[in-house]
A = this chain, B = another copy of it.
């Protein structure tokens, strides 16, 4: 490992206002993908930022939010790939913002703007690290590639074909994911895996209209009851998912995974207090088992149910329609495609041929081996910035398109960046701390230089 970064660190600090100025310009673009706003304009601005740093840039405009691809060669033939996105969540509710969400404001050592954490600040921090490296040597320590998409906040709907059709272009040896930062104790965290998801709507229709319950209650089928019985067949009260073969593809956490989870702070008591939860499911108590279960269990979560009368007081009606939204979180090696097949099969065998399944979206689970040398490199590179190595989290509960990179490019994927738990991603007053921006950038310089030196 290289251990002298004094010149880089100084440059990052000296150049800080320039980079914040670029971040401010980037945040002015209201690149809300859900509203299809200013996506090509933002992509064009981003490509300028890369071109002025000597990158070759290509814009792929097949979809609403063009993909910005940028590359610059390095001293050695090893390639580090960065995945980011320039689209942002809607800023609403506007009345809860203390400042204009699209006008970057510096206050109390923080920068406030929609997207400043998710994900524009991450992009500029990475560019700032590159500035520091280029100031030192006109050849980068390794080849660098960027894929910056414009539809991450709307399920990355065009990313799959893009990655699959551009495997050669994206060929690389390791990947840094779009998000990253420190935890409540200011320790940087390295997430190695994301669960998959299979999101479906189940719906039942039993008649062409709702009927007075005095008339039909005894003899007409009731869509709400059909749905309740079908849902009940999916999971028992001990949280066992009853779909045949559902658990077949589950790979349990390894000994190394468990050892890593033991280092993660216990969250049980914090969760209980924060959400006023009386007890966890499956009799789980605060501790490593809770941490492991949170990330490594597949789930069958009812996200919503709707049927019949839902207003104030009583209405004596027998509903003709009922539906539920269900989110299955998947762990390696489950896939949404397989779960869909198993679910249909289950419902049919249980006598629920009348329950329709609408697939609303899916991602495969994917993870990077904690024993991959790149993981240690990234974790240890943090020590000379943060005073400690990164905490390695083998898997988190959320989902994302990391499997596209892991499967198609066969690269390890790590997280590192400039956010903190108070960043308010997706919420009003999104912000980052300037100190985290500096630290994250310094960390990125170390990752790139150590990678080129590996």
Most chain B CB inside 10 Å of its own CB: which residue of A302, A309, A318, A396: A302
CB neighbours (8 Å) of A231 from chain B are 228
Q: Taking CB as reference atom, which chain B residue is nearest A298?
A: B218
> In the complex the two chains form, is B319's CB within 8 Å of A304's CB?
yes
Residue A314 interfacial (CB < 8 Å): yes
Choice from B297, B304, B305, B324 contacting A315 with Cβ under 8 Å: B304
Interface residues of A in 206-250 (CB under 8 A from B): 206-209, 211-222, 224-225, 227-229, 231-232, 235, 237
Residue A397 interfacial (CB < 8 Å): yes
> In the complex the two chains form, is A207's CB within 8 Å of B307's CB?
no
Interface residues of A in 284-335 (CB under 8 A from B): 284, 290, 293-295, 297, 299, 301-310, 313-320, 322, 324-325, 327, 329
Residue A265 interfacial (CB < 8 Å): no
In angstroms, Cα B398 to Cα A396, docked, is: 53
Residue A62 interfacial (CB < 8 Å): no
Choice from B221, B227, B309 contacting A303 with Cβ under 8 Å: B309
Stretch at the interface among A83-91, A116-124, A275-283: A275-283
Q: A310-B306, A315-B325 are contacts. A294–B219 as well, Cβ < 8 Å?
A: yes
Residue A64 interfacial (CB < 8 Å): no
Q: Taking CB as reference atom, which chain B residue is nearest A206?
A: B277
> In the complex the two chains form, is B351's CB within 8 Å of A237's CB?
yes
Q: Tell me what chain A mostly uses at the interface: helix, strand, loop, or mixed.
A: mixed
In angstroms, Cα B295 to Cα A88, docked, is: 58
> In the complex the two chains form, is A319's CB within 8 Å of B294's CB?
no
Residue A256 interfacial (CB < 8 Å): no
Choice from B208, B225, B293, B314 contacting A219 with Cβ under 8 Å: B293
Q: A271-B220, A275-B207, A398-B215 are contacts. A303–B315 as well, Cβ < 8 Å?
A: yes
In angstroms, Cα B217 to Cα A213, docked, is: 35
CB neighbours (8 Å) of A102 from chain B are none
> In the complex the two chains form, is A308's CB within 8 Å of B305's CB?
yes
Choice from B197, B216, B293, B310 contacting A316 with Cβ under 8 Å: B197
Residues of A bordering B, CB below 8 Å: 195, 197, 199, 206-209, 211-222, 224-225, 227-229, 231-232, 235, 237, 271, 275-282, 284, 290, 293-295, 297, 299, 301-310, 313-320, 322, 324-325, 327, 329, 351, 360-361, 396-399
